[in-house]
Each structure stands twice: as structure tokens, then as C-alpha cells.
Amino acid sequence: DQQVKQNSPSLSVQEGRISILNCDYTNSMFDYFLWYKKYPAEGPTFLISISSIKDKNEDGRFTVFLNKSAKHLSLHIVPSQPGDSAVYFCAASASYAGGTSYGKLTFGQGTILTVHP
Amino acid sequence: DAMVIQNPRYQVTQFGKPVTLSCSQTLNHNVMYWYQQKSSQAPKLLFHYYDKDFNNEADTPDNFQSRRPNTSFCFLDIRSPGLGDAAMYLCATSGSRKNIQYFGAGTRLSVL
């Protein structure tokens, strides 16, 4: 039972254009969502996050949109740069769990983004 | 720079031969996590430590154990590795912002 899904294994975009990465979740208790970026031979690094009380969060070229009714979030990168080429993971957590489960993340399987010069 | 360091980066072991992977952190975070990631799959949480409290995921095989002797170090022990245990193992930490985890570069385990 995969609670967080990234249905596109890969995405190819031209430099300067918009990249849109999508993520769907099934657990309605999830209330905090994150995007991580992973380069080869490195660990995932935190990119941007959003709480369920918001529907949009922006940080420079990166914007995350959350649609709670559809249980869907997306990451927009504008403009895309070749250095953005990496694997992007969507993750979700449920702060209701409390105690020692607080902060536990459930990850999607990742989307490989390639930005061509 | 404060960081999460995993050693070794690559580990080759024989079928059934115990192996230990290590993780250290200079972030002084109270929570440490171990994930297993197989090719093209999502990282899967094996267990985590909240300070000294050990929390095992329900579906983590008994073959996997962990130790956290102090705040800075955490070890993953695989008692009898099988071919299916070949994977990338990721260590992560979190602190005051518990939803945000900081990852090491991982250890890629091969089982021959």
C-alpha cells in the first residue's frame, strides 16, 4: 500500500522552461509535505515544504502547490536550469501521530528530472 | 560544516555474513533514522531513534538491528544478509524542525 505516489518516473524539460513534478497521496492524515532533491552519489537534500493549512509556498524558483481535496501536490521550477537535473522525491508526514512518530516521513518513489541546455 | 556522515560508502558482504553500517552526525539532532532504498523505489523507513528510544517499523525484518550508543552515532546491523538486502541504506537526522530530515550520502550494500 503505497501512500505517496509519483506516477512519472522521469521528466525532460528544456532549459528556461517550467518543470512540473507531481505527487499524489492517499492518507488524509498527512498534513505536512516536502520535496527533496537527490544528485547521484549524494543523499537527498531538503528543497521546500508546505503545511496543509496553505495551498502554496514559494521559495525563489521553486513553488509547491497543494490541493487537499484532490490529495495532490506539485512542484514547479521556473525557469528550469541544467543544474536542476536530479531525482526529486515527494514526502509526507502526519503530525497528529505525536510522540516518537512525529516527523516520520513517507516517501514517493521519485521522478528523474533532466533539464537540457 | 555540520553534516551526516555514513561509512563506508560502499560495502560488499557475503551471503549470511554479518555487516555493520555506521552513521555519525554533527548536527546534535535528537532523532536518527535508517532507510532502505532499492532501485527506483521510495526510501523505506526501517527504524528510528528518538533520543535513546528505539522505534521499529512493523514490517522491518528481525534480521535488521540498530544501536545508538550516543547522540552522534547510530549503527545498522544486518545479522545474516540475504541477496534481497542489497540496497542503498540512508541515514537521516532531525532536530527541532522534526518534519525536516537531513540525509547522509548513503551506503550501497552488495551481497554476494
Interchain contact A100–B (C-beta under 8 A) = yes
Name the closest residue on chain B to residue A95, using Cα atoms. B99
Query: Residue A92 pLDDT more than 90?
Result: yes
Measured distance CA(B109)–CA(B19) in Å, rounded: 9
Q: Kindly list the residues from chain A whose CB atom is less than 8 angstroms away from the CB atom of residue B94.
A: 103
Across chain A, mean pLDDT equals: 92
Interchain contact A95–B (C-beta under 8 A) = yes
Give mean pLDDT, residues A5-13: 96
Band (pLDDT 50/70/90 cuts) for residue B49 is: very high
Tell if the CB–CB gap between B48 and A108 is shorter than 8 Å. no
**pLDDT tens, residue by residue, B11-34:** 999 999 999 999 999 999 999 999
**pLDDT tens, residue by residue, A31-49:** 999 999 999 888 999 999 9
* Spatial contact of A78 and A61, defined as CB atoms under 8 Å apart: yes
Query: C-alpha cell of B87?
Result: 540496497
Query: Residue A100 pLDDT more than 60?
Result: no
Give mean pLDDT, residues B69-92: 96
Band (pLDDT 50/70/90 cuts) for residue A102 is: low
What is residue B84's three-state secondary structure? helix
Tell if the CB–CB gap between B99 and A32 is shorter than 8 Å. yes
- What pLDDT does residue A96 have? 61
Q: Using the Cα atoms of residue B99, residue B103, residue A2 and residue A47 in order, give the sign of their dihedral.
A: positive
What's chain B's Rg over C-alpha atoms?
13
- What pLDDT does residue A98 have? 56
- What pLDDT does residue A97 have? 56
* Spatial contact of A94 and A65, defined as CB atoms under 8 Å apart: no
- What pLDDT does residue A47 have? 97
The distance from CA B70 to its chain's CA centroid, rounded to whole angstroms, is 15
Tell if the CB–CB gap between B41 and A109 is shorter than 8 Å. yes
Q: What percent of chain B has pLDDT over 70?
A: 98
Measured distance CA(B23)–CA(B103) in Å, rounded: 10
Q: Kindly list the residues from chain A whose CB atom is less than 8 angstroms away from the CB atom of residue B50.
A: 99-100
Across chain B, mean pLDDT equals: 93
- What pLDDT does residue B96 have? 78
* More confident of the two residues A101 and A39: A39
In one-letter notation, the amino acid at residue B60 is: T
Q: Kindly list the residues from chain B whose CB atom is less than 8 angstroms away from the CB atom of residue A44.
A: 43, 90, 103
Tell if the CB–CB gap between A49 and B102 is shorter than 8 Å. no
Picking from A41, A103, A107, the nearest residue to B31 by CB comes out as A103
By mean pLDDT, which of A97-101, B7-11, B80-84 is the weakest? A97-101
Give mean pLDDT, residues A84-97: 88
Q: Which residue in A87, A43, A45 sits closest to B107, CA to CA?
A: A43
**pLDDT tens, residue by residue, A10-24:** 999 999 999 999 999
The distance from CA A6 to its chain's CA centroid, rounded to whole angstroms, is 9
| Omega of the bond leading into A79 within 30 degrees of 0 (cis) | yes
Please tell me the total number of residues recorded for chain A in this structure: 117
Measured distance CA(B108)–CA(B91) in Å, rounded: 12
- Compute the CA torsion angle B38, A94, A66, B93 (nearest 10 deg): -50
Q: What percent of chain B has pLDDT over 90?
A: 81
